[in-house]
A and B are shown apart, each in its own frame.
Chain A
Amino acid sequence: MKHCQWIGRAALAAALLFSAPLGISAARAADGEERAPWIVGSTLMNPLTIEVFKHLKQRAPQLPDPRIDSRGTSKGITDFCAGTGADTPDVVAMSRRMRGGEFETCTKHGVADIIEIQLGIEALVLTVSARDEDFALTFDTLYRAIAAELPESEEFLPNAAETWNDVDKSLPKTRINVILPSSALGARGFFDNRFLQGACREMHAFKNIFEADERVRQCTNLRKDGHVTELGVPYDTLAVKALENAPRGTVAIMPLRFALDAGDKLKMLRFETTIPNRENVSTREYIGTRPIYYYVKRAHVKDYNGVGLVPGLREFITEVTRESTFGDDGYLVPFGLVSMPERKRAEVRDAALRLKPMVR
């Protein structure tokens, strides 16, 4: 009799165990009605994402058109980590790596398994006209040339430097003139974060400011006396044209791709002892770089058995990690992507295709 009871209990447990996935599938089918991939995040990566889907559609025309909401990295990660389900995005495109705190927020909201795909690297470089003389800049000299106020014996005084030579005696005696992307462009945020704050980070006066907001405000306050020129879209064309007509000593901040494309009209300056090129950007030896990523919710990926919320996500992951996409000669390279070293690409591809969840 006892044996019968045990057999009954085991059968019940087995039934419950095996019916659970079916229940989940049913629930997904009920609430989920399959929908198109939904991508949020960085505006900078918008052209890259569009290009990836364009190629994906050529390979698999039956896939639905994606929904792309590019409202910036911070907004994107907030939406992405809000939870799982049809009303939340599937992919976030980020112009930096996901932070530990963001990962924890995601986990707390039930977005536990996230697939991390590093797409590549982007870089900003300093250029001058091809007919101009070469000189080398550092975080410090660049900052001292364009900051509105400079720290002087524990207080901030207006910047009075007129020529590069006023900033550093090894630099030419040409007027300081720096061309920057306007504040509305993503590249400007990158410049502020990487170059300006990179300079302030090493200055004692800035280290003494406890509040981050106050420090950033002071650090990113640039001169308005004609030494700094801001240009809007299309930045590459405008900047190259401005450099051609500018007086000697004019420096333009440029994405690496633009600088390489206009190689006959301008030349790149040495920055922090390194002249940027694809190799040292790829290895991030050149300091003016940042990585770009896609993060995909594993729970939304429809697998080959048809289980999952969003068809096309698995194909998206495969497409992104193809050599023909993010490799050295991939179709994203003309869009400003600098590919990672081959070994790193292989690691990323392997983890992504196996849908391996990230760990932070």
Chain B
Amino acid sequence: MASIKTALAASVLASLLWCAPALAAQSSAPATAMAPTAAGDEPLDLIMDRPSTVSTFLGTVGSALGWAWDKTTDAISVILPPSPISLAKSVDSDDQAELVTLLSYAGYKLKEIDSQVGVIPTIAFKFALTRELSEADWDYLDYRLEVSRFRTPGLGAALQRAIVGTVMSINTGGAYQVSELKIQALPLPKVAFSVTPKQTALGEESSALLRAIQKTERRLRGDLASIAGKILPGAKLYRLYKARDGIIVSAIALFVVAILVELRRNLRSPARGRAGRAIPLGLLGLGTLAWVVAALAPLSLLTLSGGIAVFGVTALLVAAKGPQAPANTAADTTPDAPEAPPEPTTAPAVAVHVTVETDAKAAVPA
């Protein structure tokens, strides 16, 4: 008997499987096509060796199966948890749940969303302590809870307030604090509080690190504010004379210009020996060094402008005096000093020689 039943069941199942494509086609066909005909078996049914009644029956079963499948998938999609990303977005949105808002006022921020998809899906939210609360923060949280009590009655809201209230009482109670809060929504609502001593090694370390960062930031800010000419080591000595910046720079400028003039005169003069050229060159080097030191030192706008002005005036004076230099040079190299002939190898010497000749020719007729 049992074997007959099994055989029947197997045959029904096999027929269902065999008819599946036809069922699908029929389920998508117009209703009129599915309606049983009064005229009995269709020729096609005869060809396929199936009576129309069986076809109708199978069509109905197929529709029912399709409907059942749709409803099952719908039901699964309903009970499936939303994706972690959509949850995270909803938590960050402006219309976030009141619990999240209250927890943020209590110093907690969403850290993780644990979501598992399966026959029994699970969702859990983990909140971590991100800041200590001040006295005013506690009072404000108390105020928000009171306002919530008036505005949002109901069991759910009361449970949420109870969670925040528990966190509040633990954190204000003394030596302990809720370092992490895990709120499980599925499969069964549950809240887990990770309570740790306030003075743990990790907390201390994190706090010290933060303090160090903030201290460095403050120092950096202070340094940036005072960096305008007060930091370079070489400038410290110079700062002592800051009031006399203008005079010093002007003196250096005059000194350099004077050296340049002297150098020009000496280089042109064949009467000067090597020593005569080395002294102004050395002075020029010293002047340049002094100038570099002055330039490295932080200069006030007044100093700079004063220095530039003096330098400019000196340059103008030198430029005005410039044309006289060759005349003087010519006077110095008149034929009464023929023992110093120009060196033929260097271009400046040639130029000087030419000048001398011109002047000499001009002088002869006179």
Residue numbers in A under 8 Å from B132 (CB-CB) = 210-212, 215
User: Do A284 and B147 contact each other (CB < 8 Å), given the known contacts A104-B173, A197-B137, A211-B211?
Assistant: yes
CB nearest to B165 among chain A residues: A100
Interface 1/0 per residue, A203-216 and B, CB below 8 Å: 00001111111111
What is the bound-complex CA distance between A284 and B143, given in angstroms?
Answer: 9
B169 engages A360 (CB within 8 Å): yes
What is the bound-complex CA distance between A194 and B133, given in angstroms?
Answer: 14
A197 engages B169 (CB within 8 Å): no
Q: What is the minimal beta-carbon distance from A249 to any residue of chain B, in angstroms? A: 28
What is the bound-complex CA distance between A201 and B135, given in angstroms?
Answer: 13
A66 at the interface (CB under 8 A from B): no
B134 engages A216 (CB within 8 Å): yes
CB nearest to B131 among chain A residues: A210
Interface residues of A in 339-357 (CB under 8 A from B): none
Report which of A96, A104, A197, A290 forms a contact with B134, defined as CB distance below 8 A.
A197
Report which of B131, B136, B147, B165 forms a contact with A207, defined as CB distance below 8 A.
B131
B134 engages A101 (CB within 8 Å): no
A155 at the interface (CB under 8 A from B): yes
B238 at the interface (CB under 8 A from A): no
Residue numbers in A under 8 Å from B92 (CB-CB) = none
Report which of A201, A212, A213 forms a contact with B140, defined as CB distance below 8 A.
A201
CB nearest to B146 among chain A residues: A284
User: Do A201 and B105 contact each other (CB < 8 Å), given the known contacts A100-B169, A104-B173?
Assistant: yes
Interface residues of B in 130-160 (CB under 8 A from A): 130-140, 142-143, 146-147
What is the bound-complex CA distance between A102 and B172, given in angstroms?
Answer: 8
Interface residues of B in 111-143 (CB under 8 A from A): 130-140, 142-143
A209 engages B138 (CB within 8 Å): no
CB nearest to A108 among chain B residues: B174
B173 engages A100 (CB within 8 Å): yes
Residue numbers in B under 8 Å from A74 (CB-CB) = 135
Interface 1/0 per residue, A183-211 and B, CB below 8 Å: 00000000011100110010000011111
Residue numbers in B under 8 Å from A201 (CB-CB) = 105, 137, 140
Report which of B131, B147, B214 forms a contact with A212, defined as CB distance below 8 A.
B131
Q: What is the minimal beta-carbon distance from A41 to any residue of chain B, in angstroms? A: 15
Size bracket, chain B contacts:
20 to 34
What is the bound-complex CA distance between A214 and B171, given in angstroms?
Answer: 19
Interface residue tally for chain A (C-beta within 8 Å): 29
B174 engages A210 (CB within 8 Å): no
Residue numbers in B under 8 Å from A104 (CB-CB) = 169, 173-174
Q: What is the minimal beta-carbon distance from A276 to any residue of chain B, in angstroms? A: 16
CB nearest to B129 among chain A residues: A210
Residue numbers in A under 8 Å from B358 (CB-CB) = none
Q: What is the minimal beta-carbon distance from A285 to any residue of chain B, in angstroms? A: 9
Report which of A96, A210, A212 forms a contact with B139, defined as CB distance below 8 A.
A96
A3 at the interface (CB under 8 A from B): no
Residue numbers in B under 8 Å from A155 (CB-CB) = 217, 221
B168 engages A100 (CB within 8 Å): yes
Q: What is the minimal beta-carbon distance from A201 to any residue of chain B, in angstroms? A: 7
What is the bound-complex CA distance between A193 and B130, given in angstroms?
Answer: 20
CB nearest to A103 among chain B residues: B169
CB nearest to A158 among chain B residues: B225
A169 at the interface (CB under 8 A from B): no
What is the bound-complex CA distance between A211 and B171, given in angstroms?
Answer: 14
Residue numbers in A under 8 Å from B206 (CB-CB) = 210
Residue numbers in A under 8 Å from B214 (CB-CB) = 209, 214
A99 at the interface (CB under 8 A from B): yes
A105 at the interface (CB under 8 A from B): yes
Interface 1/0 per residue, B326-342 and A, CB below 8 Å: 00000000000000000
User: Do A193 and B135 contact each other (CB < 8 Å), given the known contacts A100-B168, A102-B172, A105-B174?
Assistant: yes
What is the bound-complex CA distance between A100 and B173, given in angstroms?
Answer: 7
What is the bound-complex CA distance between A96 and B146, given in angstroms?
Answer: 13
B207 at the interface (CB under 8 A from A): yes
CB nearest to B221 among chain A residues: A155
B210 at the interface (CB under 8 A from A): yes
What is the bound-complex CA distance between A104 and B136, given in angstroms?
Answer: 19
A270 at the interface (CB under 8 A from B): no
Q: What is the minimal beta-carbon distance from A211 to any residue of chain B, in angstroms? A: 6
What is the bound-complex CA distance between A212 and B129, given in angstroms?
Answer: 13
5 contacts between A and B (CB under 8 A): A96-B142, A97-B142, A100-B168, A101-B172, A193-B135
Additional pairs, 12, CB under 8 Å, beyond known A100-B169, A194-B136, A210-B207: A74-B135, A99-B142, A101-B171, A104-B174, A193-B136, A197-B134, A197-B140, A198-B140, A212-B133, A216-B134, A284-B143, A284-B146
- Residues of B whose CB lies within 8 Å of any CB of A are 105, 130-140, 142-143, 146-147, 165, 168-169, 171-174, 206-207, 210-211, 214, 217, 221
